[in-house]
A and B are shown apart, each in its own frame.
Chain A
Amino acid sequence: MAEYLILIAEDENAYAAATPDVYQQVMEAHMRFAEQVPEKGGKIVEGRALQPTSTATTIRGDVVTDGPFVETKEAIGGYYLIEARDLDHALEIGKLCPARFGCVEVRPIRVFN
């Protein structure tokens, strides 16, 4: 098994405008995802949601500035660290990951030995 990070990039404005109903659906989708991954033979090592980019602080060198390192319509709002057999398996899992206001990126974790 290898580790992959599923980065969830979505439109923050869509979430800001979302009704409680939508939030509820998103929560349920993520709970369903947590059940589906082991069914697919993978494993979620860890999964977290992030506060919006308006709370981000960037440090470049030793200069501290308000905001994310790059302003984009879609921003990383959460991630899952998963275990999968190979990229095909990781992509199969990634396709199940909820991201109704954007997309997910699947990146292999680099292993140093």
Chain B
Amino acid sequence: MSSVPRDGGEPAGGAGDGAGDGTAAGPGAVPEAIADAHRREWALVLAATARVAGDLDLAEECVQDAYAAALAAWTRQGVPRNPAAWLTTTARRRAIDALRRDRVLRAKLPLLIEPDPPVATSTPPAAGAGEEDDPIPDDRLRLIFTCCHPALAREAQVALTLRLVCGLTTVEIAQAFLVSEPTMAARVTRAKKKISAARIPYRVPGEAELPDRLDAVLTVVHLLYTTGHTAPGGPDLVRADLVERAIGLARMLHALMPDEREASGLLALILLTDARRATRADAGGRLLLLEEQDRSCWDREVIAEGAALVREALRGARPGRFAVQAAIAALHAEAPSYAETDWPQIAGLYDVLLGIWSSPVVALNRAVAVAMACGPAAGLAQIGELEADTRLAGYRYLPAAKADLLRRLGNQAEAAQAYRDALALTDNDAERDFLARRLTEVTGPPRD
């Protein structure tokens, strides 16, 4: 695309967003508007451009070019009222130009663009405002379902979603997942190649496949959230950038599929968990447990939004796993104190969750709730059973939970061993520091 002049090809008056419509640009206003449009509109612009480009690589190039061209054009003409429409028109023109130039080169393995999706999306594009503009096709669902196709490995789904839906660079994704840049670049390239070579269709799956396919999409977004919520390694407990991306994606999915209860459930779960973010560590970065957190600092507005979404997600028979997890998070978020939490109901919800999602991690969480409802010994008995489950081998929260219950029972020696086991499995500095403090508590102060 280097041969396309930077100043050529952006929409003129015809798009209704030319000079004169724009807002007067103060110093720094244009870069800020571009950064804002990148954060908010990238997925919409790329998804709509992919339809014209017929190729994800070309679409990405053209969208990057459009953002680059925006700097000069918006500085000159002012920021358009509808930045997404401006960017989409520009990117699509560039795509058409490139296709004309390289017809032969580009014709080999086109992205398989299916006719309109069977799932109706009534929500207008977030850009919304420019009524007289050509409507931007909202292909964001196609884009995310393609990125999270089950024929792609989970780590490739995550990488592609961050790259194509969130517009992150390969360097940023590599840093987030602690892999080298060439490794991440290879992962993204391989996945994109498979999409075109194996003809993974660019479409929203039909009704029959939708529940499974949506679950894969929601799982990717949830994985992004949990990776950000407790960073897998390094000095900080939380990676705010990943958390924000995951919230953005969950909001987008909920807005585009308002009738999908699990999409509501995931957004609720993330919001209710994230409402506690500010209180999860003290000023020095020290990890604070749920019972130590200052509940007056939890974000009540976010909790109210999450609780309303939980009610949406739980309506009807047979709620999904995200809805039930969100219901548990809501009970925590709305409890006046740790001791006054409705532990029996939480333990009951974990039973429901185990019925629809047989995961040893869920069983471990249930054991912790049972310990609160019926005493540490009851919880410890359940953890004992889980220790035989090979799927939990190496899962740091198993010895950590066991250590806590042993400590509560006054069994200092066994608690110490369990804390040591947990420490050996933990790379996050804030979590390590917490476990080390607890280990010192149960072994007594070091003697000299």
Contact = CB atoms under 8 A, between A and B. Distances in A.
Contacts of A22: none
B108 A87 contact: no
Nearest to A88: B201
A88 B197 CA distance: 13
Contact of B151 (A2, A85, A87, A110): A87
Nearest to B114: A86
Interface residues of A, number: 10
B199 A86 contact: yes
Contacts, number: 24
B377 interface: no
Given A86-B199, A86-B201, A88-B205, 10 more contacts: A2-B199, A86-B200, A87-B149, A87-B198, A87-B201, A88-B201, A88-B209, A108-B198, A110-B197, A113-B108
Interface in B184-204: 197-201
19 contacts: A2-B199, A86-B114, A86-B200, A86-B201, A87-B151, A87-B198, A87-B199, A87-B200, A87-B201, A88-B200, A88-B205, A88-B209, A90-B199, A91-B151, A108-B197, A108-B198, A108-B199, A110-B197, A113-B108
Interface of B: 108, 112, 114, 149, 151, 197-201, 205, 209
A94 B108 CA distance: 25
Interface of A: 2, 85-88, 90-91, 108, 110, 113
A86 B142 CA distance: 15
Contacts of B200: 86-88
Contacts of B149: 87
A91 B149 CA distance: 12
A110 B193 CA distance: 12
A88 B198 CA distance: 10
Contacts of A110: 197
- By CB atoms of chain B within 10 A, which of A85, A87, A108 has the most? A87
